[in-house]
Amino acid sequence: MSAQTDHSNPICGALGCHETADVVIRHPKHGKRTVCDNCTGGHVVIRHV
């Protein structure tokens, strides 16, 4: 079962990070990414999750 169907909190999409995701950012090379507050890397925050 995927995280999208079991209603659990999303996990940060940054490589090596296992924190709960907080925001969606606009990454210049990879498009939209769901990440935690610590992994935004100064990129534009599109929305909170």
Q: Where does 1-49 have alpha helices with state H? A: none
For Cα atoms 6, 9, 22, give the angle at the middle one, nearest 5 degrees: 150
In the chain, domain spans: 1-49
What is the torsional sign of CA 31, 39, 1, 49? negative
Query: How do residues 9-46 score in pLDDT, each as one tens digit?
Result: 899 999 999 999 999 999 999 999 999 999 999 999 99
Task: Note the pLDDT of residue 8.
Answer: 81
Q: Mapping DSSP to helix (H, G, I), strand (E, B) and coil, where does residue 37 land?
A: helix
User: What's the rounded mean pLDDT across residues 5-12?
Assistant: 80
Q: Which residues pair with 35 in a beta bridge?
A: 23
Alpha-carbon gap, residue 30 to 47, rounded angstroms: 16
